[in-house]
A and B are shown apart, each in its own frame.
Chain A
Amino acid sequence: MIEIKHLQKSFGEKHVLKDVNLTIEKGKTTCILGGSGSGKSTLIKCLIGLLETTGGQILVDGRDITKIKSEMKLAAVRRRFGYLFQEGALFDSMTVGENVTFGLKYLTDVPEADYPKIIKEKLALVGLKEEVAKLNPSELSGGMKKRVSLARVLAVEPEVILYDEPTTGLDPIMSDIISDLIIDLKNKLGVTSVVITHDMHSAFKIADKIAFLYEGNMLLQGTPDEFRKTDNPYVKQFVAGSSKGPIQMKLMKE
């Protein structure tokens, strides 16, 4: 279980995360919603130690990872996490197959002789054929890039997968395929998933719990049903995807 307590993150004078509190249950999918620039990516980058926090705690099974300063110890914590980057972040100097097995070399003792089998297995898990392994990332479509990136994450068998806007930039059908994939992985492998998104359709489909991040604070946390029925005007406007409401008014005041 991951507990985020009073988390703060500032970049100079800009306070991106002011007081974030969130509990991420083991084996469940938690979606973090929020508009562009609300600090969603900052939050999950703090979670995996890519960004140093300014204050607060991130407790992973009771251990505060914000206090870890040693690069080696931090790498051991990161070992438990997988991160699906928004644009895939595939290494463009390597083939798809080399990308998928990259983490195995550094995070596991799996012998190289097993790599072809793992490539085939993980690509199949994300719905891709073995032949894709020979291609370069530049030859892939946006949806394929995300799936290869997910295969790369799955190859090292993390306990927690952090998804950074997994459906952004994809067509509705491919978005739905990715959503199904997230559900499948949770059911088949029992992984804990943290998904940051502003795709409401996907969030309602995959989430066990939804949290809404607004102006550096968690405005609301609850089940998808609670989100549908909420009276909170900010959340209601976001869920409806309307340009009229307090969020718009706030922008106009600024």
Chain B
Amino acid sequence: MFTSIGKYMMGFFGEIGGCTEMLRSCMFWLWRSKFEWHQTAQQCVIIGVESLGVTALTSLFTGMVLALQAGNTIGNIFGDPIFVGTIVTFSLIRELGPVLTSVVVSGRAGAAVTAQIGTMAVTEQIDALYTLGTNPIRYLVIPRMCAFVFTLPILTLFSNLFGIIGGYLVSVYALNVPGEVYLTDITSYMGVSDFMHGFIKTFAFAFMIGTVCCYKGISTRGGAEGVGKSTTGAVVTTIVLILVLDYFLTAILTAFGI
């Protein structure tokens, strides 16, 4: 049993060390070489633009179900579905928007990034990059990490918007709350700090997803099976870390009054 624990810990710290080394290499190449604008723009489309549909749909229904649950519960207690707009928007902007968008992007784009880089690793395409004068960190990792950091906050903004629209539709058409009341509930009780609370989190999530998915890809060994294992590992790790990070970020941001 102790051997298994030891092996697991060695593997865990090995991965932490690997990620740190990759980030150090990212910093080195970021300052020492020309930035890959074309690659980054291409990845922004794949990671950001192509994820818009699925994140919008997820948030729309999340907003709808939040409004339905909140409206019915409050209706049962107070007789009227009051503050539905506040509850929906507050939950979305501070928590569900950043977390759900990150989870969806991790499952969709993060998995694709790991699978693509992993396949390149097992088919010697990464070695080919070295032999053709290109460092894979510079050519593959930095553009993808930047694309995650550039697009995830924007995706979250859209996601929040669609969630609020979903809540509005349910409030107005299912709960019979007047539209003006729903909107006033949002504007009266939500502040800039609520918006910033969620927005800051998205940068941390994006950085973490980019780091884990790229590292898992670049460290892939062992053919098709290895690619499968890396991809699964990347998605599971990022989803767990999103939830863990979310707690700690919430505690820190709240302590700073954000």
Contacts and interface: CB of A to CB of B under 8 A. Distances in A.
B130 A78 contact: yes
A220 B193 CA distance: 75
Interface stretch (B84-92, B132-140, B233-241): B132-140
Nearest to B124: A89
B32 A72 contact: yes
B131 A82 contact: yes
Contact of B132 (A86, A87, A102): A102
B133 A79 contact: yes
B50 interface: no
Interface in B100-153: 116, 120, 123-125, 127-128, 130-135
A107 B132 contact: yes
Contacts of A71: 28, 135
Interface in A88-124: 89-93, 102-103, 106-107
Contacts of B134: 102, 106
A85 interface: yes
Contact of B127 (A72, A85, A102): A85
A218 B36 CA distance: 43
Contact of B125 (A75, A81, A89, A106): A89
A219 to B, nearest CB: 27
- What is the interface of chain B mostly: helix, strand, loop, or mixed? helix
A90 B123 CA distance: 9
Given A85-B124, A87-B123, A89-B123, A106 B32 contact: no
Contacts, number: 52
Contacts of B124: 85-87, 89
A85 B133 contact: no
A75 B133 contact: yes
Which has the most chain A C-beta neighbours within 10 Å: B123, B131, B134? Answer: B131
Interface residues of B, number: 15
Contacts of A93: 116
A89 B127 contact: yes
Contacts of A107: 132-133
B223 to A, nearest CB: 12
Interface in B29-65: 32
Contacts of A72: 32
Q: For chain A, give the interface size range.
A: 20 to 34
A48 B132 CA distance: 11
B133 A91 contact: no
Contacts of A50: 127, 130-131
Nearest to A74: B130
Contacts of B127: 45, 50, 83, 85, 89
A18 interface: no
Contacts of B125: 89-92
Contacts of A103: 132-133
Nearest to B139: A106
Contacts of A75: 133, 135
Interface in A36-95: 45, 48-50, 71-72, 75, 78-79, 81-83, 85-87, 89-93
Contacts of B128: 83, 85, 89-91
Contact of A81 (B32, B120, B123, B131): B131
Contacts of B133: 75, 78-79, 103, 106-107, 156
Contacts of A146: none
A50 B128 CA distance: 10
A152 interface: yes
B146 to A, nearest CB: 18
A244 B149 CA distance: 61
Interface of A: 45, 48-50, 71-72, 75, 78-79, 81-83, 85-87, 89-93, 102-103, 106-107, 152, 156
5 contacts: A49-B130, A50-B131, A83-B131, A85-B127, A152-B132
Given A49-B130, A85-B128, A152-B132, 16 more contacts: A50-B130, A79-B133, A82-B131, A85-B124, A85-B127, A86-B124, A87-B124, A89-B124, A91-B125, A92-B123, A93-B116, A102-B134, A106-B134, A107-B132, A107-B133, A156-B132
